[in-house]
Chains A and B, each alone.
Chain A
Amino acid sequence: MRTLEQTTDEILGLAATHFKVSPDELSPDDDFFKKLGIDSLQALELLTRLENHFQVELPDYEVQGVTDFRTLAERIQARL
């Protein structure tokens, strides 16, 4: 079972890889819309990548309004 810190780190790594940002530039409290420069369509893509990576289901309404990596990690952790 992953810890919340591990989950957060994996999310940061995945976001950095797919949105071509240096991992050093991302931290758990960042607003991922602003930091990654993504719109809601790309946020949907991120959601799908996270679901595929962690093999969980994340209903849209559970992540609606979530803008930072740490809260996103908590939502995923609750489904692991």
Chain B
Amino acid sequence: MQNFSGDTLSWELIDGVVELALHRPPCNEIGSATLQELEQFAEALQAVTGEAHALIIHSRLKPGFCAGADLRELYHRSQELSAEESEAGVRDFLERIHRVMNTIDASPLTTIAAVHGVTFGGGFELALTCDLIVADKMARFCFPELRLGLIPGFGGIPRLKRDLGNGIVRDLLLTGRSINATKAQAIGLVSQLTAEGEALRVARLTAAQVGKFDRATSAAAKRFIKPIPYAELRQEIETFCNLFTKPAVEAGLRKFVESTDAQPYLP
């Protein structure tokens, strides 16, 4: 695998561990530039399997792992296009990001999200594709999409349902509240909790442990225990696209974009 250093993310292969670092300020919002580089990464990941045993995804930015979709880009693009073109653009984006997420989810490598700070929306969904979430105790998780008149669109609900009981899934989705890493560990979302600033180090130690086992056995165990909910993921795209045409979405996006707060993350 060739190391890569892009505008929004970089990756390198070190001792059998692929490390994908997100670094698009302010908090790794996923827009078209990130999507394009994530697609390059997904392609490289599929080719690397013989050389590696684990993948770690982390952020180099202080505010957090990832604040989700780039809502400013989404709003401005939708203003330039007709309603039909805008919906088609969103559908295309969702189809592409789902392919990336599904590739990471299905990777035979053992995958670890090392998260800190803001892990919201699409960032939370990216973490949910991984086999393990290692969280710094200052991490926070949230699905704030309902305040925009939308549902999570990057595969979040089916993957959260795969991992957690429906009660907490409904709470997170329908209230849009955020939870801290301690709570996330208590409900079974986070597998390892670390001190502040230590998530990546702990993830590296975990990746080294994973490397001691036979790869084929680890991959078989993963396939057995972590089925990918393809039918529900498709359903999610359809529901998202149906909701996207409603007036509440434009109003919600405008409110977000016009907010004077530098980091309008609170739902």
Contacts and interface: CB of A to CB of B under 8 A. Distances in A.
A44 B177 contact: no
Q: Is chain B's binding surface mostly helix, strand, loop or mixed? A: loop
B263 A41 contact: yes
B140 interface: yes
B83 interface: no
A72 to B, nearest CB: 14
B265 interface: yes
A74 interface: no
B80 interface: no
Contact of A44 (B137, B175, B183, B265): B265
Contacts of B27: 41
Interface residues of B, number: 23
A30 interface: no
B267 interface: yes
Interface residues of A, number: 17
A57 B266 contact: no
Contact of B180 (A39, A43, A48): A48
Interface of A: 39-41, 43-45, 47-49, 51-52, 55, 57, 59-61, 64
Given A49-B138, A61-B177, 9 more contacts: A40-B261, A40-B266, A43-B266, A51-B180, A52-B138, A57-B180, A60-B177, A60-B266, A61-B176
Interface of B: 27, 63, 117-118, 137-138, 140, 142, 175-180, 182-183, 261-267
28 contacts: A39-B261, A39-B262, A39-B263, A40-B261, A40-B263, A40-B264, A40-B266, A41-B118, A41-B262, A44-B118, A44-B140, A44-B178, A45-B117, A47-B140, A48-B137, A48-B138, A48-B140, A48-B180, A49-B138, A52-B137, A52-B180, A52-B182, A57-B180, A57-B183, A59-B175, A59-B177, A60-B267, A61-B176
